[in-house]
Chains A and B, each alone.
Chain A
C-alpha cells in the first residue's frame, strides 16, 4: 500500500465522517442532547483534521481546527447548541465537505463563505465563553529560549529579561562551524511514577547520548536494604555531564516524556575548560539491544544487587530488572483463580460474538458484479435444466422433480442474497438532499425544513447512484417553486416555515420515493396557459386536473415566470422523468391547490432481475415487466370500438382505453391483429392514463435475468433489454413506456408527437 492508496482511503473515510457529522448535527437540531451524539460529531471533524494533517491539506486542517474548537465548546457544555448555533454548524459541515472535495478533485471553494464561517465559528467559541480566547490561542509557543546565543557564548550566564538581553536573529548556517561545545550538568532523579508510566531511566540516558558526549554518575545512597526495598520504588538518581554543541532545550527534550515524574535540573557547567571531575562511566547500550542477555543477567544482578549498584549503568539496568521481577511476581498471583479466568474468557468470547454481528467488509464492486452475473447465469441454467427434464421425462420421476424444485428454490435464494449485497440504504442520497434544501432555502430567503423518513430502505447501488440527480432537481424545484415565501405563507395562515418531506419505502418489490411539500400546489390555470403558450397543447384541449399536473413533465415546459438561478438551469421536469424512466421507474405528481404537491417515484429494487409476464406476439416471445401491468383481460368483440382512421378503443368498466397492438408497433406484422383473438394487458402509462397492450397469448410469469441489449448489440426502440429463457432462447423485454409513447405517434423512430397525443387524451 502506498501513500496514494491511503489518501484514497482517507477520502472515503471523509465521506463517511461527513455523513456522520451531518446526521449528528441534524439530530442535535432536533433536540437530541445525548453526549455521545456530540462526541460523534466532534470525532468526525477531528478525524478529518487528523488525516488531512498527515497529507498536508492545510486549508482543510485550518477550517476543521476552527470547527473542532467550537464543537469542543459544545462538548464541554460551554456552548448551548441552539438552532442558531446549529445553523452555523450545518453550514460549516457543508463547507467542510466542499473543502474535502476540493482537496480530492482539485478546484476551489467559496473562500468568502468559508472565511465568513470561520469568523462565525470563532465568535461562537468566544461569545459563550469569556476565556474562550485561550481555547483559540495558537498552539503552545514553540520552544524559543534561544539556545543558539547561549551556545555561541558558552561562558555567559543564561540571559534573562532583567539583564536587558534581546534575542538577536541568528543564522545557524553561518556560525555552525565555529560553535564551541559547552558542557551541561544534568541532575536526573526519577520518581516511582516514571517507571509506572512505562518510562525507563536507562532508555532516557541512552537517548541523552544522542545529544553529546557524556559521563554519568549514579547516586545510590538512598537505596534501602534489600528487605525494605519496594520493588517498584525509585531509589537512584543520576548526575550527567554532557558535552554538546546543542542547547539546554535539546537536553530537556530528551526528558520530555518524563519531566513530570522526575526532578530534572539542567545547567551550564561553571568551568568548561577543565577536565570533568568525575570518572566517565562507559554507557553500555548493547545490554539494551539484547533481550536474552539482560534476562540472563537478571539473576546475577538480583543476587549481587548492592554490589551492582556501584556502577551507574548497571544500576539503571537493575531498575529495569527489578520491575521485571515485580511483574513476574504478580503473574504468579494471577494464576490463583483459573476458574475466574475461564469465565472471563467465556465472557470475552461472548462479547466478540456480539461485536461480529455488526462487522462489515469492504469488497470491490467489480467482484460483486461478477458474482451477480454468474448467479444470473446459474438461474438461467437452472431454468433450462428444469425445462429439459420436464420435456424428456415422461415418467415424471418424483425424486428428480423434487430435487429440481429444491434447486430452483436455492438458486432463487442465492440470487436474492447476492442482490442484497448490492443493496444499500438510500440514506446517503437523502442526507445530501438536506444540504440542498438548506442552500437553496438560504438563496431564496425561505425557511424550510426537510423531514426524511425510511432512509434505511435499501435499494440497488446503481439505482441509488442514479437517483441523486433527479432527486436534487426535484428538491430544488420544491424549495424554489413549491414552497411559498414566508410572508405569503403567513398570509395564507400557514406556518411560515415550509416543510419538504422525503420518504422511502418498499412496496410490492419496488422502492417508492415520495417528495411531499406543503407549498401552494400546482397553479393549474397557469400551467395550462403556459402549455398553450408553448404550443404543447391545443388551446381548446379539455384536460383533467391530473393531466394538467402532468404537463410539467413535458419537454419544453417551465412554469417559473423568470428563469431563476436555482432550478431554472435549462433542465426541466422532463429530464427528471426521463432519468427515472431510464431506471425502470415511474414518476407521477398529485397536487392540491394551497396544500402542496406530492411527487411519487416508483423504482425497481434492482436492475439485474425482473419479474416478467412472458407473452407471445406474432410468433415471438416477449417479456413484459410485471410492474407495468395493471390487469389482463380477454377482450370481447362488443367492447372494441373503432376510433379515427386506424385507432381502436376498448371499453373497460365503462371507461375507454386506447388499444395498442404490440406486434404492429414493433413491426412484427403489417396489419393489426384481431383483438378478440388475443389478450389485452392493461398497463399504466406514466402520463396517468392507461393503455391496453394487445398480445397473442400469455405463456406465464417468470423472473428473468436482464441482459443489456446496448452492451451486447445496440439499442432497439421499444425494447428495454433481453433475457435468456429456460429453453435457451433469447427473449426481448418490452419497454412498455416506449411502446405506449410510440402508439401515440404510430412510430418508434420519432419522438411521439405530443400535440396529437394530448389531443387524443383530450378527446378520450
Chain B
C-alpha cells in the first residue's frame, strides 16, 4: 500500500515541489495550505507521516504540531518540519512542540525522501 503523506505549506511553489517529489517517489500526497487547514484535513486523510512548514499564516507550524500531538488519534504520527530555519532555536521549538525530525531547506528531493523513510516503517 502507498504511504500517505500530509504536507502543510503556504507556498505554492513548495507545495508543488512536494507533490511532484512525493508522487514520483510513490507516496500518496495530501496537501494543506496552513496549520488550520492541516488540522482539518488530518481528520479525513489519516496520514502515515506529516511534512510541515513553520512560517504560515493563520496557524504556524509550531501550533500545528501541537495540535496534532494533542489529537488522541494522530499524536503518534511522525512529523517532519520542512523549513529554512536551520538555527538551533527554531529546531528546538519545533521539537518541543513535538516534531519528530526536520528537513533543512533548500528543498532537496533526496533529503526529503530519505527523512520520510527514516521515520516511517
Binding site for B on A (CB under 8 A): 1-2, 5-6, 9-10, 12-13, 39-40, 42-43, 46-47, 49-51, 53-54, 56, 61, 139-140, 195-200, 202-203, 207, 256-257, 260, 288-289, 291, 294, 320, 323, 327, 330-331, 333-334, 348, 351-352, 355
Q: Do residues A257 and B11 form an inter-chain contact, with CB atoms below 8 A?
A: no
Q: Do residues B119 and A203 form an inter-chain contact, with CB atoms below 8 A?
A: yes
B99 cross-chain contacts in A, Cβ below 8 A? 197
Using an 8 Å CB-CB cutoff, how does the interface string of B5-31 with A read, 1 for contact, 0 for none? Answer: 000001111101101100000000000
How far does the Cβ of A308 sit from chain B's closest Cβ, in whole Å?
18
- Residue on A nearest B16 in the bound complex, by CB: A6
CA distance A14 to B91 in the complex (A): 26
What are 13 A-to-B residue pairs whose CB atoms are below 8 Å? A43-B56, A47-B10, A47-B11, A47-B55, A51-B14, A54-B14, A54-B17, A198-B76, A198-B78, A198-B100, A202-B121, A257-B119, A260-B92
Q: Interface size on B (CB < 8 Å)?
A: 43
CA distance A333 to B73 in the complex (A): 11
Q: Do residues B121 and A203 form an inter-chain contact, with CB atoms below 8 A?
A: yes
CA distance A7 to B72 in the complex (A): 39
Q: Do residues A50 and B118 form an inter-chain contact, with CB atoms below 8 A?
A: no
Q: Do residues A200 and B121 form an inter-chain contact, with CB atoms below 8 A?
A: yes
With A198-B77, A203-B121, A257-B118 known as contacts, the answer to whether A46 contacts B72 (CB < 8 A) is: no
Q: Do residues A323 and B72 form an inter-chain contact, with CB atoms below 8 A?
A: no
From residue 69 to 111 of chain B, which have CB atoms closer than 8 A to chain A?
69, 72-73, 75-79, 83-84, 86-88, 92, 95, 98-102, 105-107
B100 cross-chain contacts in A, Cβ below 8 A? 197-199, 257
B19 cross-chain contacts in A, Cβ below 8 A? 1
Q: Do residues B121 and A140 form an inter-chain contact, with CB atoms below 8 A?
A: no
CA distance A46 to B119 in the complex (A): 27
- Residue on B nearest A1 in the bound complex, by CB: B20
Contact of A196 among B11, B69, B106, B118 (CB under 8 A): B69
Q: A50-B107, A53-B106, A203-B121 are in contact. List 7 more A-B contacts (CB 8 A).
A: A13-B11, A61-B106, A196-B75, A200-B78, A203-B119, A257-B102, A288-B121
- Residue on B nearest A57 in the bound complex, by CB: B106
- Residue on B nearest A259 in the bound complex, by CB: B95
CA distance A547 to B40 in the complex (A): 64
How far does the Cβ of B99 sit from chain A's closest Cβ, in whole Å?
7
B83 cross-chain contacts in A, Cβ below 8 A? 50
Contact of B78 among A39, A199, A289 (CB under 8 A): A199
How far does the Cβ of A524 sit from chain B's closest Cβ, in whole Å?
53
Q: Do residues A6 and B121 form an inter-chain contact, with CB atoms below 8 A?
A: no
With A9-B13, A43-B57 known as contacts, the answer to whether A334 contacts B73 (CB < 8 A) is: yes
A42 cross-chain contacts in B, Cβ below 8 A? 55
CA distance A49 to B100 in the complex (A): 24
